[in-house]
Structure 1
Amino acid sequence: MKFKFSGELQALINKAQSGQIEDVDYIMSQLTTESSLAMTRYVDFALSLVEPDSKGFERIRYYLFNGTLIQRNYASLYLNRLGIWKPVKDAFEQGLIDEIQAYSR
């Protein structure tokens, strides 16, 4: 069965599957204080498609330490789901994410 996604979600999926640095930058740029709930869900789903062995993975890790609060939170969520705890623990100890975010999946 083939799913039909909204244009916004499909664009994010395409970028996530490409997994390049600029694609992750685009995805993360969608996370702002004005982002709709739908957009945050789209971003969360798209990030889950970024392969751990891609340049995009390293870029997500970069956002854990250098992004805005919402970007750091989504980077933390991505890494937690992959079971990559060390950078998340480091970000927590540096005060970049809170305890709830550090341990959420």
Structure 2
Amino acid sequence: MGRHTQEEISQIICADFQAISDFLAEKPLFVGGKPTRLDATACGYIGNFLLPRRYKGAIVDDLLGRSHLCQHYERMNQEFFSKQLFLLFPLSVICSKKPALAQIT
């Protein structure tokens, strides 16, 4: 990543989230009826950008515009973490219905 500008890094990360979003589509989980490593990994990456609100800018705006990724993150937290921890960071408060940035090609 050191060879890229900050704007290029943002575009690469947004393109990654676009690919994750396309693969998840409207499914509750990425593959099958049980959470997989892919679900856990995606949950971790999404959470690192959204909680706590460390990052601002195009990446977070793009991610917040992908409500089904935010909903996937919430489902994984409800599935795997205690309600006490989950209630500290309810994404329903954080995620909005902002439109996703234009697809990066």
Between structure 1 and structure 2, the one with the greater Rg is: 2
* Higher relative contact order (Cα pairs below 8 Å, separated by 6+ residues): 2
Shorter chain as denominator, the TM-score bin is 0.3 to 0.5
The structure with the largest helix share of the pair is 1
Q: TM-score, normalised by structure 2?
A: 0.42
Q: TM-score, normalised by structure 1?
A: 0.42
